[in-house]
Amino acid sequence: MTNALELREWISSEIRDVGTSWSVGTFGAIAEFSRDQDETADVGCEASRCEAVTARGGIRIDQLANVRAAAYETTNRNPDEWSHTIALCLPAADCAMNRRAVLTEIGPDDAALREDDRGAHLFDLGLGTLQVDVCVRTSEPALLKALRDGAGKSVFDHGNPAMMAILRGSPHRVFVTRVGRAEVYQPIPAADHKSPDGPHTHLLPKLLRARRTHSANNPIPDGWVPCAHLYPAHPAKDALGRSQPFDRRQHDRFQELLRAFGDPELFVLKEAAMAGVAAGSDPTTLEIPKGRFARATIRVALRQMQAIEGSSASLRAWKQFHDRFADEGIEEDEQAQHAQHG
């Protein structure tokens, strides 16, 4: 895919695919969107935008000029599992949003996904993040007053009533980037409850303080910033992350996306590792390029071979050797555990 039109045609197919889920955000603040197989949704793609909206939330992708899709696979703590993702990235010079540092009233949300929401007022939480404006939207009088009373200050200030009012009032959460937006209408869960299935958000102040655009676990090309992500259906997990019988068709589909959008050096390395296992080669003979993601790529390849073909003496030897490096150069972060396919 060499231009925005081809990319838009592919995005259109993914928007229509109920098995593909999405996220918009940054390191420490993310909005996720997914829908059930039988869930009613308004799905539409025009020349200028593609979107899907349900009663629980929605996603819109409306700007693909200069966008680069970056596909990658990552490991997790379970030695038999992996995740896959495609990030929609912009050059660092093109991705910046407003970077407001305090709670700020923006006004009516004229760009809301649903027409009925366009009269409600949008407030930027003032997180100062580079590639996303993290906002809430409401027309409820008491919440409007609390947000206006807290405007001009950080939502994390102890004397600011805004955050507690947001947690109680569960306004719509709206995450806006140069690539598009995600909206979440489901209630914010209590602190001791897990996030609901389907659209939801995560706001993690500890990670936000790192002021990073993405997890160090994710091989985003240098000079690019991820603004949105999509997660095509996983071959070994359902939309809720539960194990399911391996689906070779879904696996092959993502491998084609990985070939098209992934790091070509890592793709060649992955194929070399699989060939080495198939030939019964000594795992120490594989030449591994420098970089923090090479060994993780090999471990993904081995986990996928096990899912496809089952175990073998050669595969066990390769896994035993490369699993010794499972924590080398890779950090675990909370947000990675919240990903739809992670």
319-341 in b/e form (b: 16+ CB < 10 A) is: beebbeeeeeebeebebbebbbb
Q: Do the domain assignments include residue 274?
A: yes
Looking at the chain, the whole-number percentage of residues with pLDDT higher than 90 is 83
The residue-averaged pLDDT of 81-86 equals: 96
Task: Give me the sign of the Cα torsion angle 330, 33, 60, 1.
Answer: positive
Q: Do the domain assignments include residue 338?
A: no
- pLDDT tens digits for 235-253? 999 887 889 999 999 999 9
**pTM for this model (two decimals):** 0.93
Q: For the chain, how are helix, strand and coil distributed in percent, rounded to 5?
A: 30, 25, 45
3-state secondary structure of 81: coil
Closest CA to 307 of 236, 238, 225: 236
Q: Do the domain assignments include residue 44?
A: yes
Q: Do the domain assignments include residue 334?
A: no
- pLDDT tens digits for 138-154? 999 999 999 999 999 99
- Domain ranges, residue 316: 4-93+213-325
Band (328; pLDDT cuts 50, 70, 90)? low
Q: Do the domain assignments include residue 59?
A: yes
Higher pLDDT, 342 or 38: 38
Q: Do the domain assignments include residue 333?
A: no
The DSSP code for 210 is T
If residue 70 lies in a helix (H) or strand (E), which one and from where to where?
Answer: strand 68-75
Closest CA to 173 of 339, 342, 32: 32
Q: Do the domain assignments include residue 104?
A: no
**Six-digit token pair at 313?**
């003496």
Band (2; pLDDT cuts 50, 70, 90)? low
Q: How many domains does the chain have?
A: 1
Q: Give the burial class of 175: count Cβ atoms within 10 A of its Cβ; 0-12 exposed, 13-18 middle, 19 or more buried.
A: buried
Q: Is the confidence at residue 25, as pLDDT, over 90?
A: yes
- pLDDT tens digits for 208-225? 999 999 999 999 999 999
Q: Do the domain assignments include residue 208?
A: no
